[in-house]
Amino acid sequence: MMKPTLLPLLLLMCTNATSQSKSVAQISFVPTYNNTPILLDESADEGLVFGDLTIETLKFYVSGIKLYQEEDLVFALANSFHLLDAAEPGSFDIKFECPDSIVFNYIQFNIGIDSLTNTSGALGGDLDPTKGMYWTWQSGYINFKLEGVADRSPARHHRFQFHIGGYQAPFESVQKVKLAVKNTREIEIQVAVDQWLATIDLSETYQIMSPNAAAIKMAQRLPTIYSIAK
């Protein structure tokens, strides 16, 4: 499991949990390409090369983190909006305090930002527009951003750019993921970016830069690439 040097500390809020003993839990997202972690820190100034494809940018939002015991909601992370950026490996680990009495076997989260938050006006922290993940008030946030170079892309310099977002009907792109977990205090989630790219013919589709029908189809395939690491 990746061990970045900087980990954000996020506090969970739960009804009647303030007097309970707590311990630290962690959710780690591990983006990969062909099972190789995607890390775009200073050691990868020109991106990471995977054969005939180079990844230069990978960012996505995770929000609305909730913990379930079967179908019962037992815990919810308050104000949980997290920008995960492969250029900042520490952003892929989320630490939080969890009451020891809480038992859960599922984790649920959104890929992207919900419509209510999109219409709440410019916000700070990971939702700050200066993070490069916000279009306009009409289009809202970019939920998932992937950029790079591929030999089979016919674009100039063989670039590809996928900015997947949108919150207004009929282009509501936020997606929900629910995964069964076993180790409920250390959860590692793999994000198989190569599996998502495998569904895209880069020789024909190499750029999505606004909410539209094509973006929705791509967004709907995103939940399938998140899985609990073995």
> Is residue 219 classed as helix, strand or coil in its secondary structure?
helix
E strand residue ranges, 34-136: 36-37, 48-50, 53-69, 72-76, 81-85, 93-99, 106-111
Residue 186 lies in a domain: yes
CB-neighbour burial class of residue 77 (10 A; exposed 0-12, middle 13-18, buried 19+): buried
Domain presence at residue 161: yes
pTM above 0.85, yes or no: yes
Flag whether 185 is in a domain: yes
Q: Could you give the angle at the alpha carbon of 192 between the alpha carbons of 187 and 197, nearest 5°? A: 155
Domain annotation covers residue 162 = yes
Overall number of domains in the chain = 1
Are 131 and 83 a contacting pair, CB within 8 Å? yes
Tens-level pLDDT at each residue, the chain (230 residues) = 444 443 333 333 333 444 579 888 899 999 999 999 999 976 666 789 999 999 999 999 999 999 999 999 999 988 889 999 999 989 999 988 888 889 999 999 999 999 999 988 768 999 999 999 999 888 999 999 999 999 999 999 999 999 999 999 999 999 999 999 987 789 999 999 999 999 999 999 999 999 999 999 999 999 999 999 86
Q: Three-class SS of residue 32?
A: strand
- Name the residue range of residue 69's domain: 9-228
In a domain, 2, yes or no: no
The count of C-alpha atoms lying within 13 angstroms of the C-alpha of 153, restricted to the half-sphere facing its C-beta, is 21
DSSP for 75-101 reads EE-TT-EEEEETTBGGGGEEEEEEETT
Spell out a b/e string for 193-225, using b for 16 or more CB atoms within 10 Å of the CB, else e: bbbbbeebebeeebebeebeebbbebbeebeeb
Q: How far apart are CA 131 and CA 78, in angstroms?
A: 21
CA 24 to centroid of chain Cα atoms = 21
The pLDDT of residue 9 is 32
Strand partners, 159: 149
Q: Which two tokens stand for residue 2?
A: 């990746």
Q: Determine, yes or no, domain membership for 1.
A: no
Cα dihedral 142, 146, 147, 152 sign: negative
In a domain, 4, yes or no: no
Q: Which residues pair with 165 in a beta bridge?
A: 142
Counting Cα atoms < 13 Å in the Cβ hemisphere of 130 gives 2
